[in-house]
A and B are shown apart, each in its own frame.
Chain A
Amino acid sequence: MSTDWKPPIGALNARTAFMRFGLGPKPGGAARMGNASTSALNACLRELNITSAVPIRDPKLPNYATACANELILGGAFDKRLDEVEARIAKQLEPEVGFVERLVLFWSNHFSLFHGKEQIIRVTAGQMERDVIRRHVLGKFPDMLVAVMRHPAMLYYLDNTRSIGPNSAWTQPGKDINENLAREILELHTVGVDAGYTRQDIRELSRILTGWTKRPARDPQLGRPGQYFFQQSMHEPGTFTVMGKSYSQPGEAKGIAVLRDLALHRKTAEHIARKLVLHFVSEAGPEDPVVTRMVTRLADVFTATGGDLRAVARALVQMPEAWSMPMNRLRQPYLWTVSVMRALGLDKAAFETVADVPKLDSYLMVMNNHPWGRVQPDGYSDKNFVWETPNAIRIRKQIAYLLVTDFIKGDWTGPNAAVLANSLLPNAVSPEAISAVARVSQDKAALAMLFMTPEFLRR
C-alpha cells in the first residue's frame, strides 16, 4: 500500500465492514451507513438482529423431503445444484453489509460437502445450507452440529451410511465400522486435531454413530427416500468412551449426547474461535499476541453462552482489533464475485433476469472456489497463499472483465468507474487506484480495473 496516503477512520471502518465482514458495498451503501466512528460497527450489529432476513423463502426450491427424493431423479441433478447457487447469490445481493451472509458461508464451509461425490449430496447440499446452516447460524452450535450430522448429505459424504456395528442386529452382509465421519467430527467440526484425542477415541465415536444413516433411495416399504433415519439394527450396542467420558444411552440418544458434549468442549470453543479469527481477521498464528487475545475472548464467549453463535459473532465485531488488523489478504473468489455484482448495483430481480448461472458457476470452478465443490472435507482455505498465486491473479483479471460484460447488457449507463469507486468506498480508495481506473477509456474495462484494485481485492 502507498505510504503517504491514509484514509480517514470512518472511511476505513466502512471498507472494513464491507470487505472484511461483509459481501462488498453496494452503490451509495457507505453513505447510507453514515460516517461516524461507530457507524460501520453498528451496521454489522444491526444485521445480527434481523432474524427474519436469514432464511431463503422461495417456493421453487425443494424442501427437505423433496430435496432428498431428488436422489432418484435421472438427469437434472446438476441443475438442482445450480438452482441453489442462484438462490444463494440472489439472497446475497440483498443486505447492506452482508455480515450474516458471511456467517452462513463460514458455517457452510465449516461443514464442507463435496457435491461431486454422489447425487444425494448434489441435490441436498444447498437445501442443507438453507435449512440447517441458516436455521442455526444465529442459534446454538450444539443444535447446528447435531442437525448437520442428521442430514443425509453429511452422512453420505463422510461414509457413515455404510458404517454398521459388528455386533448389531443387521443380518445383511457388509457389517463393519467406517471411521471417516467420526474422525472428521473430532478433527474438523469440533475439538480440532490438537485436542489430545486418540485413535481409540475415533473408534469409539464411530461405534456410537453406527445406525446414523439415510433411507435408501428406492424402498417403497420405508418411504421417505433419501432422508436421515436412525437404523437401530445397524447400531453397535454397548457403552463407549470418548475423550474421557463414557456414554451408555440407548440408540440414537448416545450419539446426540456425545455430539452435544463435543460441541461445548473447551477445545471446540478454541478451535472455532481460531477459525473465526483466521477467516475474518488475520492468519497470524498463536505467536501473535493480538490474535491469541482475540481467540481467547471469542472462546470465552462461546463457552459462557453455551455456543451461542449470535453472541460469538457480536463479540467478533465488537473487538477493536478486528477493525485495526491490516487488510493484507485476498478476498476469496466467491466473495469477490458476489461483491462485483453488488457493486454493479444488481438486485435480486436484475440478477435473475441477466444471470447465466451455469457460466457464473464455471467461473467459480475455474477460480477453485466452487460452491460445495471442495473435495476434501476441510473446506476452502483461509490461507492467503492459496488465493494469491500468479495463476489465480491472472485468471481473476480475466474474470473481472467477463463479469462486467456478462452483467452489463449494452452500454454502461451508470456513473463512470472512478465516480462509482467513490460511491462504493468513499475516501477509502487510494488516489493511485482512482487515477488508474480513470485512465481506462472503455467503460467496462474501467469497471474491471476498479474490481482489480487492491482496495477491492483485499480484506
Chain B
Amino acid sequence: MSDHHHDQEPIAPRVLDAAAEGCEEARLLINRRLFLGMSATLGAWAFAPRIVRAADPGDEPRLLVVVLRGGMDGLSVMAPTRDLAQYEKARGTVAVDVSRFLDLDGEFGLNPLMPKFHATYRRGDAALVHAIAPPLCDGSHFDSQLNLEAGVEGRASVDADGWMNKLLLNLPAGSPISGRPGLELGPAPFIISGEAPIHSWYPFDFGRIDGGSQLRAFDAGLRDLYGKTDPRLLRNLDLGLQSDSNARQTIRSSDNLSTMTALQKVFLGAGRLLAAKDGPRIAALSIDGWDSHAGQHALLSTRLKILDDALDDFRVAMGPAWSRTVVACVTEFGRTVAGNGRAFDGSAGTDHGKGTVALLTGGAVAGNQLHGEFPGLTNLDEGRHLKVTTDIRQMFKGILLDHLGVSERILGTEVFAESTHIRPMKGLIA
C-alpha cells in the first residue's frame, strides 16, 4: 500500500516557500513531517469496505460553495487587458503583467496561474462574475464574512444559521435532494452551520482504538452514554462516524494521496462524496489566508495556483456528476485598486476594498462567459475601491433558482431573509 508512506516524501521547495508566506494549506503539508512514526494515517482507509463504489451519474444537482477568507484581490484574478496603461496607472505598485493574462472575452483576462480554470472556462464549464460583494462591505473581515455567510442585508449575528443551512431546510419538497444532509469540509464554515444536519469531514486520521470489535464496542458504549445524557453530542458523534465511514469508502487504492496537499485531499473528498450515490448534494468549505496587505503578488501566486489545482481535482473526482455541478468561489470583499507601497519590488499589498470577482465552475454553469457589469477603473467608490455592481445574493439566488429549483419567494424570505427586492441573477446556469 504505497500511500501509507507519504509522510516520508520530501517536501517540495514550492511548498516550503508557500509555508514561509504563511499559506495555511502548505503549513498543513509541512506539518506532515511531524507525523513520522505515527501508527497509521490515510492508509487506514484501505481497510474500509467500498460500498459507495459507483458515482451516481443521475440527474441530481450538486452545489459546492468555497469561502475564500481574508478578502481576495479580484483584480489579480481577472483584469481588463485592453488598456494596459490605464490598468497600470490604477493599480500602481500591485500592477501585474496583464499582457500575460489568459484571454476570457477579448476585454478581460485571467491570471495565468489558473490555466486549468481557464481550460474549463473555454470548454464552457466555468464563468466569472464582475464587481461582486456581499451587501455589507464595511471593511471588517468578520462583519463581512458573517454577512456573506448569514445571507442577510446588514450586520449578522453568529447565533443565526448560515444561509446554506437554511437552504437545506427549504429545498423544494419534490426535489430528489431534499432531506439529504449537507456536507462541510475542514474547519466548520459558518455558512452551512445550523440546525439542519451536516456531515463533516477532514482528511486526517491517526489510527484508532484497535479498529476491530473493540472499537465498535467503544463507539457503542459512547453512543449509549450520549443517548442517555447528551442528545446533541449523540447526534454529532453519529454524523461524524457516518461521514468518516462514507469518506473512507470513497478513497481508491489508485489515489495518489502521497503527493496531494491537505487542500487537494479536502477537494477530492468533497468531489467523491458529492458524486456518490445517495451522498450529500450541498457542501461548503473555506480557505483562509487571502488578506494581502503586503507581499500581495507572492501571496496570491501561491494561492491561485493551489486553488486552480484543487478545483481541477474536484472536477475529476466528480466524474459524470460534474455535468450537474456548480462550484461558487466567493470572498468577503475585494481590495483597494491601488497598491499601498511605492516600491515595485513585490513587497506592496492592498487594503480592504469592495468589488471583487466570484468564480463559478461546474458542468451546470453557463460557461465561457463573464457575468455582471465591470464598473471601470477610473470611477472608483470613495476614490479607491472598485464599485460593487452585483450584490452577492443576486448570484447565489440565480444559482439556487435555476440550478436547485428553489422558488424566488422562498429565496427572498427564508434563505436570504427580507430580500425580495434582490432579484436573482439570470443566465448563470446552462
Question: Which residues of chain A have a CB within 8 Å of any CB of chain B?
Answer: 1-2, 78, 114, 116-119, 158-159, 162, 172-180, 183, 187, 193, 199, 202, 283, 285, 358-359, 361-363, 365-366, 368, 375-376, 378, 383, 385-386, 388-395, 397-399, 401-402, 430, 432-433, 436, 439-440, 442, 445, 448-449, 452-454, 457
Contact = CB atoms under 8 A, between A and B. Distances in A.
Given A285-B157, A394-B244, A178 B351 contact: yes
Interface stretch (B57-65, B108-116, B314-322, B338-346): B338-346
B293 A390 contact: no
A449 B228 contact: no
Contacts of B351: 178-180
A183 B340 CA distance: 15
A174 B347 contact: yes
Nearest to A399: B206
B24 A391 contact: no
B388 to A, nearest CB: 16
Contact of B224 (A118, A358, A436, A448): A436
B22 A117 contact: yes
Contact of B205 (A178, A376, A398): A398
Interface in B156-201: 157-159, 184, 187-188, 190, 193, 198-201
Contacts of B139: 183, 199, 202
A436 B229 CA distance: 11
Nearest to B245: A394
A439 B219 CA distance: 12
Interface string B221-262: 110111011101100111111111000000000000000000
A175 B198 CA distance: 49
Contacts of A399: 206
Contact of A183 (B38, B342, B352): B352
Given A386-B188, A440-B217, 10 more contacts: A162-B347, A179-B352, A183-B352, A187-B140, A375-B24, A389-B200, A390-B237, A436-B225, A448-B209, A454-B229
Interface of B: 19-24, 27-28, 30-31, 34-35, 38, 69-70, 93, 139-143, 157-159, 184, 187-188, 190, 193, 198-202, 204-209, 214, 217-219, 221-222, 224-226, 228-230, 232-233, 236-244, 288-289, 291, 293-294, 339-343, 345, 347-349, 351-352, 382
Contacts of B199: 390
Contacts of B238: 390
Contacts of B341: 162, 173-176
Contact of B243 (A175, A394, A454): A394
Contacts, number: 200
Contacts of B93: 176
A376 B69 CA distance: 9
Contacts of A202: 139
A366 B198 CA distance: 19
Contact of B35 (A158, A362, A395): A362
A122 B297 CA distance: 22
Contacts of A397: 219, 222, 237, 240
Contact of B34 (A177, A362, A430, A440): A362
9 contacts: A159-B293, A173-B342, A175-B341, A176-B342, A285-B157, A361-B31, A390-B240, A392-B188, A398-B207
A432 B225 contact: yes
B263 to A, nearest CB: 13
B340 A178 contact: yes
A439 B221 CA distance: 8
A366 B204 contact: yes
Given A368-B187, A389-B236, A432-B229, A178 B293 contact: yes
